Amino acid sequence: MNVDFRHLQAFVSAARYRNFTRAAKSLDISQPTFTVQIRQLEAELGVRLLDRNTRSVQLTRAGRELVPTVERLLRDLGSILDSARGASAAKSGSVIVAVLPSLAATILPEILASLRTEHPGVSVHLREAPARRIAGLVQREEVDFGIGWIQGKDANAQFTPLFTDRLSAIFKAGSKLERKKTVSLRELAAFPLILTDRESSVRSMVDEAFEATGIFINPVWEVAYMSTALALVRAGLGVTILPGLALDMDGGRHLRARPIGGANLDRRIGVIQAEGRSLSPAAAVFLAAVSEVCSHLDGEKMGKAARWLVGG
């Protein structure tokens, strides 16, 4: 059937104005063109919709029955087109992002606030997940992209670095560790350790670092979230090893941190995307907001973390 949007618009206009001249003018087309569109619609449907003479236009019974259906169809189609235009202009749309819990609790609020100001129609759904699960979520297209880190290389994933985060020893203010500029893993092993569980990327790095130095550790507390680890440290139950950004959650009020000497505890945080897959306009807008905020992390936030690392 060769009925298109213009034919339906012409029919509804004819029904509204009951005059071909006014109906054609409302659509900004000539009357002969308008008349052709009506004839084409009737020919395609095989039924007469309008009775017309030189003075008036009247709907036939078939025309009267068809009007509400066509009006509803045009409204629905208009809504769909408006939604598509909004999405293509990144004015609206939904984004699903997999993110490390440590980032969701620190840098994501600032990113979301920036996005809400610039693009209030874009909604973001966060899926907090450990590093080893994020790449899988991306590859199965359960999320638009991920923010995390990848150990080694993954041929099916595209990794774009954002910033480098360093794990540090975090302890309660007043600890004897506060007198030191750096601490060693051996020194930390003598304290009750509060570590994230073995599913987390942070725990993997910590375990590898201790194993490389030949030290066996048995943490007193294992927790799922950074916020819980920090709360236990504030309660004086031990020390923890977490990303430097974790200090944002305390603001340097109750906790202090020191670099860990003799261990490679840097992790490169970046965007994880499925190889060869493009992003929706809304996802691209959110990714731009992520990149903008993260471009300042190595400077502003890392500088703030460095002040906390020396007890400032």
94, 59 in Cβ contact below 8 A? no
| β strands within 15-154, DSSP E | 50-52, 57-59, 92-99, 121-128, 145-148
Residues in the chain, how many?
A: 312
Q: Residue 140 is encoded by which pair of tokens?
A: 């199965």
> What pLDDT score was predicted for residue 171?
93
CATH numeric code, 5-88: 1.10.10.10
Q: Residue 17 is encoded by which pair of tokens?
A: 């104005």
CA 183 to chain centre: 37
Domain spanning 93-309, CATH class = alpha beta
Q: Is the pTM of this model over 0.85?
A: no
Q: Residue 220 is encoded by which pair of tokens?
A: 């007193």
Residue boundaries of the structural domains of the chain: 5-88, 93-309
> What pLDDT score was predicted for residue 206?
92
Average pLDDT per 10 consecutive residues for the chain, totaling 312 residues: 81 88 89 91 90 82 88 75 56 83 83 85 87 87 88 73 89 90 92 90 89 90 90 94 79 83 86 85 86 68 40 37
All residues at 6 or more sequence positions from 268 whose CB lies less than 8 Å from its CB, including other chains: 149, 161, 164
All residues at 6 or more sequence positions from 265 whose CB lies less than 8 Å from its CB, including other chains: 166, 167, 168, 205, 206, 209, 241
